[in-house]
A and B are shown apart, each in its own frame.
Chain A
Amino acid sequence: MTHIPSNDEHPDGERLLRSSLQRALLKPAPESIARAVQARLAALPTPSPWLRGLMRYGGVVGVTVLLAAVIMVVVIGEPTSATPSVAMPDRTFTSVLHEIALVPTPVSATTVCIIVFLLYGFLSTELSRR
């Protein structure tokens, strides 16, 4: 069988092949591509500054919200009963929320924390998709 030398034995041939392929295949791209890309980028929805901030610092905001909720529970205290009386002398975290009408019925502080955190997770996920 005839020996066919490989390109490793012929670096000149390899260089020539490279330059020939580049010359043949690398043609200036039509200007229409740059214009079309520019137009498509301009049409992309631009998030508002506050949304960009939330997307950028979302993790920090989320952890802060969680920590604040935990601290409030620790400082103000968990209610002893799931249905505290309005007349109950000790103000609790959830009774405060109930008083300022943030929650319709008194609920456990832990539940409030979970709901707040889930709500934040849902919102940040939805917003980051935009």
Chain B
Amino acid sequence: MQYDPDATTLQLIRNGMTDAYAQIVQRYAARALSLASRFVRDQQAAEDVVQDAFVRAYTALPSFHGDALFSTWFYRIVYNTAMNAVQRQRRQPELTEIDEDSLAVWTDTDMFAQLEAAELDGLIREAMDAIPPLYAVVLDLFYVQDRRYDEIVAITGMPLGTVKTRLNRGRALLRSELLQRCPELFSERTS
């Protein structure tokens, strides 16, 4: 079985040292906020989702038996909490059809090198916000949270094929959004 880096902290909490949960919050707050933001664009609403997820995880901790990594289990709670928040807002995740030819997409290293880091960060955030949640969340889990395919399947409940398709489409959408915001990159690359 895979070693869980949170096992020691969880044992402390189970032994009654509930203050140790602050370490879990500290460890996962930024990552959970990134994931929640893929669903809920409003910063305050995303923070509320993260708070709810931490409280739900704490109360459900007795039912966590270590069958998966704690982080995978927790991300599933964040994912479900964010989905519920979206449904409460009656905002269903949008599905955007894209050109199938653009499914295979690569990341041009020059494209990133041409931009200052701060400028690129801003562009990436804007582009990620513009991508429909169904794709953005898979991109976030794969790249930002460093999750493997099987873990994304466990977190989202999507079939493996769907995860791979959405990851590819997500990359294509991200590239498309970045190029829309910075068309000179595309013209320079193709010239």
User: A residues engaging B (CB < 8 A)?
Assistant: 1, 4-7, 9-10, 12-14, 16-18, 20-30, 32-34, 36-38, 40-41, 44
Contacts and interface: CB of A to CB of B under 8 A. Distances in A.
A21 B144 contact: yes
Given A25-B125, A33-B25, A33-B51, A10 B106 contact: yes
B49 to A, nearest CB: 10
Given A25-B144, A37-B25, 18 more contacts: A7-B106, A7-B107, A10-B107, A10-B109, A18-B146, A20-B120, A21-B143, A25-B37, A25-B128, A26-B31, A28-B30, A29-B30, A33-B33, A34-B22, A34-B26, A36-B51, A38-B22, A41-B55
A4 B104 contact: yes
Q: Interface of chain A, helix or strand or loop or mixed?
A: helix
A126 to B, nearest CB: 17
Contacts of A21: 124, 128, 139-140, 143-144
Contacts of A13: 106-109
Contacts of B29: 29, 33-34
Contact of B143 (A5, A9, A22): A22
Contacts of A33: 25, 29, 33, 47, 50-51, 54
A7 B105 contact: yes
Nearest to B54: A37
A62 to B, nearest CB: 18
A108 to B, nearest CB: 39
